[in-house]
Amino acid sequence: MKKEKTKDQGIINKTRPNRMKIVVIGGSGLIGTKLVNKLRQLGHEVVAASPASGVNTITGEGLAEALTDAQVVVDVANSPSFEDKAVLEFFETSGRNLLSAEAAAGVGHHVALSVVGTDRLPQSGYLRAKVAQENLIKASKIPYTILRSTQFFEFLGGIAQSATDGQTVLLPPARVQPVASDDVAAALADITLGAPVNGTIELAGPEQFHFDELIQRYLRAKQDVRQVITDVHARYFGTELDDQSLTPGDNPRIGAIRFEDWLNVGSRR
């Protein structure tokens, strides 16, 4: 450990005793990039792992090397395809390969990012795949923390796209409580540096909206002429929604960034 003599010859510790090696799987993605930067700024050794950097949780390429001496692994990878069968295969294969590589490397904390309400919406192929991912984590012997987040503000354009038919966007009026990706990365950084809870923590934004109104506001702000049509039976990634489907339960963590402020910052970029 690096030590230095002070002016009065006392010894001070120059190396942070809690500096950790942390591997972020999906480290090149939306959340991964922000999380990697945050953890590096705090002085940790962080590996941003993804196929682009030679680490692939599906083929196993580069995984053992990346995990050597790692204390914590954070999984924020996402499936390249959201098709029902493909996404289930991705999260199952990736989860299995990753957890067994972590067991071999002696990793002490597995952190994963999931979705609020994922176990309430079995009609959705994507959310069934996230449940499968969570179940693998819970069944493994590795201490873990799962953060279930609500929809990211950054994902609203993708939601509008997936619900578009011509010039109209079909959405239910169900309540949602979306969150900024900066708040998700901040919550994940905090969890990564803490002790495993062997359980699930929820995260949501500071305000609730009706889904149809939220997406219409988003489209207007982006000067997108598409019109949102409200339909209580409109499906969200394969499933109908009610006011409880995507909103958090008791005591979620709450992000700081409000939707309007996020929109305003985005329009100045």
Nearest residue to 70 (alpha-carbon basis) of 29, 19, 28, 112: 19
Nearest residue to ligand NAP, by Cβ distance, number only: 29
Q: Which is nearer to ligand NAP, 71 or 181 (CB)?
A: 181
Q: Which is nearer to ligand NAP, 16 or 85 (CB)?
A: 85
Q: Which is nearer to ligand NAP, 43 or 158 (CB)?
A: 158
Shortest Å distance, C-beta 261 to ligand NAP: 18
Using CA atoms, how far apart are residues 110 and 97, in angstroms rounded to an integer?
A: 13
Chain mean position to CA 262: 18
For residues 32 and 48, the answer to whether their CB atoms sit within 8 Å is yes
Q: Which is nearer to ligand NAP, 29 or 172 (CB)?
A: 29
Shortest Å distance, C-beta 154 to ligand NAP: 7
Shortest Å distance, C-beta 101 to ligand NAP: 11
Shortest Å distance, C-beta 13 to ligand NAP: 35
| Helix segments in the chain, DSSP class H | 30-41, 63-67, 84-105, 125-139, 156-162, 181-193, 211-221, 259-268
Footprint of ligand NAP (CB under 6 A): 25-26, 28-32, 50-52, 56-58, 76-78, 80, 94, 113-115, 130, 149, 151-152, 155
Which residues make beta-bridge pairs with 5? 11
